[in-house]
């Protein structure tokens, strides 16, 4: 369950009280959180449903009691029942149930919206957290060199070297900005309908050659059992993005002395299966499903060793689904490498 976020103020005050007791007071805060369970929206929702059901029962109970009393009064004084009203218990029950049902639906809708808002809030937090590092690092480097240039007269060679760094930083910044913009475009889903039939083996080879500097320390082997081109309709731009994400993950999350990625092509009857096997850090069993979530990053938030946007695999999954394919991850566990398996259909029906 997501921890309840405390306002920064309370934490701040507690932390200033005593830095030595930082952990103790933080733990105090978290034990306080345990008593906040009754604030949780699911519980509020359940309580209101129970309250509503109970009130429906009470309405009916009172109604039946009152109408029985009325009937007995009518009988006692020998009045004409039709003079008062036509008592139709079932209609009343029906009407009450419908009204309660409508209220119930209303509560449910509010509950769903509330959950969505919370989810978006979390997403936003994660987004800021993840991209702070990715965006600020190149800016820091740029600022550093610009200030250096302003202060010192460097030799021409040095200038060229550092200007090269700065260009590289601007590219990094641009890449990050593009990733964020692409996310928005993929999310909207309308832009990617042009599919081209291409040979995927060739595409992957080409990708490897184009980005050779990325895989400088990493051995990439491509296996194609039937040694013929394998055609598949893809959107080249998106597919490039997918390859880039899978491959950079394989290279970045690799602590082996000889990083390696094996790409196996397996033709299927109605599609194509591509396995990207690396000898990297692997994935914990419990994490395998979560890694495809937006902004998800392996490890706890306190662990500041990993950097990254938490977007890569989410994009991979989205791109696979735009191709009517799917992507899964397999791993024997931490430190045992991981496999990303992409399945694409040979034909893509694009509606619209």
Partner 1 sequence: MTGITLKKKILIVEDDRHIAEGLRLNLSLRGYDIMVAPDGPAGLREWREWKPDLIVLDIMLPRIDGLSVLRSIRLEDERLPILILSVKGEPEYRVKGFSYGADDYLSKPFNLEEFLLRVERLLTRAAWNSHSKPTEADLDPAYHVYTFGGNTIDFDTLTTHCRLGRVTLTEQEVKLLKLFIANRGKPLSRSELLEIGWGYTGTTSTRTVDNFIVRLRRYFEDDPHEPVYFRSLRSVGYVFDHDSH
Q: What is the closest distance, in whole angstroms, from the C-beta atom of residue 190 to partner 1 in the complex?
A: 35
The token pair at 39 is 């604030």
Q: Are 239 and 232 in contact (CB under 8 A)?
A: no
How many Å separate Cα 232 from the centre of its chain? 28
CB nearer partner 1, residue 226 or residue 307? 307
Q: CA nearest 285: which of 267, 302, 298?
A: 298
Q: What is the closest distance, in whole angstroms, from the C-beta atom of residue 22 to partner 1 in the complex?
A: 5
Q: Are 331 and 282 in contact (CB under 8 A)?
A: yes
CB nearer partner 1, residue 26 or residue 341? 26
Q: What is the closest distance, in whole angstroms, from the C-beta atom of residue 27 to partner 1 in the complex?
A: 6
Q: Are 315 and 295 in contact (CB under 8 A)?
A: no
Report how far residue 50's alpha carbon sits from residue 3's, in angstroms, rounded to the nearest whole number.
26
Q: Are 332 and 238 in contact (CB under 8 A)?
A: no
Q: Are 14 and 88 in contact (CB under 8 A)?
A: no
CB nearer partner 1, residue 79 or residue 307? 307
Q: What is the closest distance, in whole angstroms, from the C-beta atom of residue 56 to partner 1 in the complex?
A: 45
Q: CA nearest 343: which of 278, 243, 289, 275?
A: 275
CB nearer partner 1, residue 10 or residue 55? 10
Q: Are 331 and 321 in contact (CB under 8 A)?
A: no
Q: What is the closest distance, in whole angstroms, from the C-beta atom of residue 16 to partner 1 in the complex?
A: 7
CB nearer partner 1, residue 9 or residue 86? 9
CB nearer partner 1, residue 19 or residue 212? 19
Q: What is the closest distance, in whole angstroms, from the C-beta atom of residue 169 to partner 1 in the complex?
A: 6
Residue found by looking up tokens 């306080």 in the block: 32
Q: CA nearest 276: which of 180, 200, 199?
A: 200
Q: Are 146 and 171 in contact (CB under 8 A)?
A: no
Give the Å distances, CA to CA, from 207 to 113, 219, 242, 262, 266.
43, 14, 11, 14, 19
CB nearer partner 1, residue 27 or residue 117? 27
Q: What is the closest distance, in whole angstroms, from the C-beta atom of residue 219 to partner 1 in the complex?
A: 20
CB nearer partner 1, residue 49 or residue 180? 180
Report how far residue 240's alpha carbon sits from residue 208's, in angstroms, rounded to the nearest whole number.
10
Rg (CA), the chain: 31
Report how far residue 254's alpha carbon sits from residue 270's, in angstroms, rounded to the nearest whole number.
33
Interacting residue ranges for partner 1, rule: CB under 8 A: 8, 11-12, 15-16, 19-20, 22-24, 27, 132-133, 136-141, 143-145, 147-148, 151-152, 162, 165, 168-169, 255, 303-307, 335
């Amino acid at each position: 369950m997501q921890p309840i976020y405390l306002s920064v103020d309370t934490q701040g005050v507690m932390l200033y009280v005593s830095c030595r007791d930082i952990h103790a007071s933080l733990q105090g805060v978290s034990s306080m959180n345990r008593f906040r369970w009754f604030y949780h929206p699911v519980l509020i929702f359940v309580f209101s449903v129970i309250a509503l059901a109970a009130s429906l029962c009470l309405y009916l109970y009172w109604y039946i009691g009152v109408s029985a009393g009325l009937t007995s009064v009518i009988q006692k004084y020998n009045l004409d029942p039709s003079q008062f009203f036509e008592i139709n218990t079932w209609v009343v029950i029906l009407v009450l149930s419908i009204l309660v049902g409508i209220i119930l639906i209303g509560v449910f809708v509010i509950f769903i919206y509330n959950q969505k808002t919370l989810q978006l809030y979390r997403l936003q937090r994660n987004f800021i957290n993840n991209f702070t590092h990715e965006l600020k690092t190149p800016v820091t480097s740029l600022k550093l060199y610009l200030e250096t240039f302003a202060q010192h007269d460097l030799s021409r060679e040095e200038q060229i070297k550092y200007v090269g760094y700065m260009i590289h930083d601007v590219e990094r910044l641009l890449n990050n900005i593009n990733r964020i913009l692409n996310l928005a475009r993929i999310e909207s889903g309308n832009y990617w309908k042009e599919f081209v039939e291409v040979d995927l083996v060739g595409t992957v080879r080409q990708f490897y050659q184009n980005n050779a500097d990325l895989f400088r320390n990493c051995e990439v082997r491509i296996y194609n059992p039937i040694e013929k081109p394998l055609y598949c309709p893809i959107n080249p731009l998106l597919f490039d993005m997918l390859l880039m994400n899978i491959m950079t993950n394989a290279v970045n999350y690799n602590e082996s002395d000889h990083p390696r990625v094996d790409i196996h092509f397996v033709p299927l009857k109605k599609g194509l299966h591509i396995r990207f096997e690396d000898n990297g850090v692997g994935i914990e069993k419990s994490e395998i499903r979560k890694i495809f979530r937006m902004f998800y990053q392996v490890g706890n938030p306190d662990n500041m060793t990993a950097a990254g946007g938490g977007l890569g695999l989410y994009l991979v999954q989205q791109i696979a689904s735009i191709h009517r394919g799917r992507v899964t991850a397999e791993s024997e566990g931490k430190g045992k490498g991981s496999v990303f398996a992409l399945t694409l259909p040979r034909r893509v029906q694009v509606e619209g």
